[in-house]
């Protein structure tokens, strides 16, 4: 239930920083801050909106000054939440910021729940639900491409697209309902056929959005690539080469990596999570066995496997055993140490692993690393059919709502083809409209809203 009270929270990341921001939103935000803020220019009766005031925060109990700050006031409805907002720009020490939050609560505010500021913006009609979800997408963006996608959603591009589709459906619904109210006019064959064509056209637009999910989710969440091989197969060297950084320890001693090392790289706008794993082999060492079990589980979950072989050493039974454990078809065989005399031939590899992606690299000298990244990208983008849609969706909830809408429209088309009564067709049209409303938040339940905003941080 939406409460018309005043909330407060730290709006900047935890820890030390040059500046920290305390945000308040609600009808009493200005009065609460005035209880502990002193400034010659600041007066609650004549305060200007969207204006910065310099002054001192003091403790109301003993009058002691706590921090020198800048305070801004944003009057409703021209604020992020659509309510009165006051932001205190203070020094970014954890103790200072927590003290200021405590003061706001003592003076009448309550601590905000996760995502409550954005939730209030949605409930006050400042943004729709797709824009609200875009806020967290923007914060979580790992690449420029993901940032651009989130920015488009935040601008309302997806919302506008959905509202256009809704308007088209409403026109069809009004025609169908008119035929119910005035049965003497009837829904003749020509008009039913015309309606069916319009529904088909809308369905095609929705299908394009659904198909864009694979590409959109790539930019948002990326893929997981697991680097595997036997001990001392220089897997960690490949990780370091892809990162262009000495992230993993590399030695001539087998079994250096016993736990999973996680790192993310940006390949042409797509975040690729690299997992450097423990070497796969038979071992009686309990610690190594745990690492090997984890590696096997990661292989099963992987979107892509980078099988690393040492080109200066012959393929042995250990290598063959590892190859049998690979379940995905998305494999790149990386033959490392191309700078040394090669014992492994490309022909031999292709006989063992009949795949196209076999690549020789030298992690030590960075030879072939760019080509490896290109191969990863080509595999990632394989079978992508969404390029024809300018607007991409990247949220599973959006995809689900659109799929429900499409399913309802397919029933509408079938009903029109079979010349079912307009009442039955109208039921499926209403179901389609409800599903579209779930996407934008017009028909979303409180439980779904709570689940969405619980993923936000406190202060946003």
51 has which bridge partners? 73
pTM higher than the cut 0.75? yes
pLDDT at 388: 41
* Residue with the larger pLDDT of the pair 300 and 169: 169
CA neighbor of 307 nearest in space, from 289, 287, 327:
327
pLDDT at 280: 65
Q: Could you identify the residue written with the tokens 């945000």? A: 23
| pLDDT single digits (tens) 392-405 | 999 999 999 999 99
| pLDDT single digits (tens) 140-194 | 888 888 899 999 999 999 999 999 999 999 988 888 887 776 665 555 655 767 8
Q: How far apart are CA 261 and CA 257, in angstroms?
A: 8
CA 456 vs CA 115, 150, 448: distances in Å: 5, 15, 14
Q: What is the mean pLDDT of residues 62-87?
A: 93
Residue 248 token pair: 């993993």
pLDDT at 386: 44
Q: What is the mean pLDDT of residues 37-53?
A: 90
Contact by Cβ (8 Å): 72, 96: no
**Surface-to-core class of residue 324, CB atoms within 10 Å of its CB (0-12 exposed, 13-18 middle, 19+ buried):** exposed
Angle (deg, nearest 10), helices 116-123 and 446-453: 140
| pLDDT single digits (tens) 355-406 | 678 888 998 888 989 999 999 998 888 655 444 447 899 999 999 999 999 9
Given pLDDT bands bounded at 50, 70 and 90, which one contains residue 247?
low
Lowest mean pLDDT among 46-50, 191-195, 337-341: 191-195
Given pLDDT bands bounded at 50, 70 and 90, which one contains residue 252?
very low
Domain span(s) for CATH 3.30.1360.120 in the chain: 7-127
* Fold topology of 132-212+393-441: 1.20.120
Ramachandran quadrant class, 116 (left: phi over 0; alpha: psi -120 to 50; beta: rest): alpha
pLDDT at 249: 47
pLDDT at 251: 44
| pLDDT single digits (tens) 210-224 | 999 988 988 888 888
Q: Average per-residue pLDDT in the chain?
A: 85
- Strand order across the beta sheet in which 51-58 lies: 37-38, 51-58, 65-74, 85-92, 17-25, 7-10, 110-111
| pLDDT single digits (tens) 92-148 | 899 999 999 999 999 999 999 999 999 999 999 999 999 999 998 998 888 888 899
User: HSE (CB half, 13 Å, CA atoms) of 77?
Assistant: 8
Residue 257 token pair: 């990596």
Lowest mean pLDDT among 17-26, 120-129, 313-322: 313-322
Q: Could you identify the residue written with the tokens 């169908």? A: 176
Class of domain 220-380: alpha beta
Q: Could you identify the residue written with the tokens 């389609």? A: 432
| pLDDT single digits (tens) 255-290 | 444 467 888 999 988 999 998 887 665 555 555 556
Class of domain 7-127: alpha beta
Domain span(s) for CATH 3.40.50.300 in the chain: 220-380
CA neighbor of 278 nearest in space, from 265, 298, 259, 264:
259
Q: What is the mean pLDDT of residues 417-434?
A: 89
Residue 76 CB partners (closer than 8 Å, separation 6+): 82, 83, 84, 85
Given pLDDT bands bounded at 50, 70 and 90, which one contains residue 41?
confident
* Residue with the larger pLDDT of the pair 29 and 455: 29
The residue count for the chain: 460
Q: How far apart are CA 283 and CA 388, in angstroms?
A: 51
């Amino acid at each position: 239930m939406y409460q018309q009270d005043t909330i407060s929270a730290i709006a900047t990341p935890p820890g030390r920083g040059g500046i920290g921001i305390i945000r308040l939103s609600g009808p009493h935000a200005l009065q609460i801050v005035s209880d502990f803020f002193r400034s010659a220019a600041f007066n609650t009766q004549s305060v200007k909106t969207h204006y910065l005031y310099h002054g001192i925060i003091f403790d109301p109990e003993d009058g002691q000054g706590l921090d020198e700050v800048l305070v801004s006031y944003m009057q409703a409805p021209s604020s992020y939440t659509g309510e009165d907002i006051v932001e205190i720009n203070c020094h970014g020490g954890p103790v200072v910021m927590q003290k200021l939050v405590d003061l706001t609560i003592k003076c009448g505010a309550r601590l905000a729940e996760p995502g409550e500021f954005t939730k209030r913006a949605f409930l006050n009609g400042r943004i729709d639900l797709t824009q609200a979800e875009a806020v967290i997408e923007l914060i979580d963006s790992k690449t420029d491409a993901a940032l651009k996608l989130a920015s488009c959603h935040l601008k309302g591009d997806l919302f506008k697209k959905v509202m256009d589709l809704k308007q088209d459906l409403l026109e069809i619904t009004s025609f169908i309902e008119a035929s119910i109210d005035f049965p003497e006019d009837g829904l003749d064959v020509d008009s039913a056929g015309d309606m069916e064509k319009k529904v088909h056209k809308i369905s095609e637009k929705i299908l394009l959005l659904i198909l864009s999910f694979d590409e959109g989710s790539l930019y948002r969440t990326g893929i997981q690539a697991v680097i595997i091989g036997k001990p001392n197969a220089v897997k960690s060297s490949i990780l370091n080469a892809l990162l262009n950084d000495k992230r993993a320890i590399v030695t001539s001693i087998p079994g250096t990596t016993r736990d999973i090392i996680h790192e993310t790289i940006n390949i042409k706008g797509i975040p690729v999570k690299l997992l450097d794993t423990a070497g796969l082999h038979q071992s009686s060492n309990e610690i190594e066995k745990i690492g090997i079990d984890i590696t096997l589980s990661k292989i099963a979950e992987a979107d892509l496997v980078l099988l690393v072989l040492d080109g200066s050493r012959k393929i042995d039974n250990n290598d063959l055993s590892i190859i049998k454990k690979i379940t995905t078809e998305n494999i790149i065989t990386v033959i490392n140490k191309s700078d040394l005399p090669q014992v492994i031939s490309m022909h031999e590899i292709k006989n063992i692993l009949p795949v196209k992606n076999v690549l020789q690299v030298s992690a030590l000298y960075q030879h072939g690393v760019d080509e490896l990244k290109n191969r990863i990208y080509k595999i990632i983008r394989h079978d992508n059919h969404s390029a024809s849609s300018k607007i991409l969706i990247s949220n599973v909830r959006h995809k689900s709502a659109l799929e429900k809408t499409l399913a309802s429209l397919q029933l509408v088309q079938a009903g029109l083809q079979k010349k079912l009564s307009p009442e039955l067709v109208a039921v499926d049209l209403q179901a389609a409209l409800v599903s579209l409303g779930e996407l934008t938040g017009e028909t979303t339940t409180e439980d779904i809203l709570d689940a969405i905003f619980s993923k936000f941080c406190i202060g946003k």
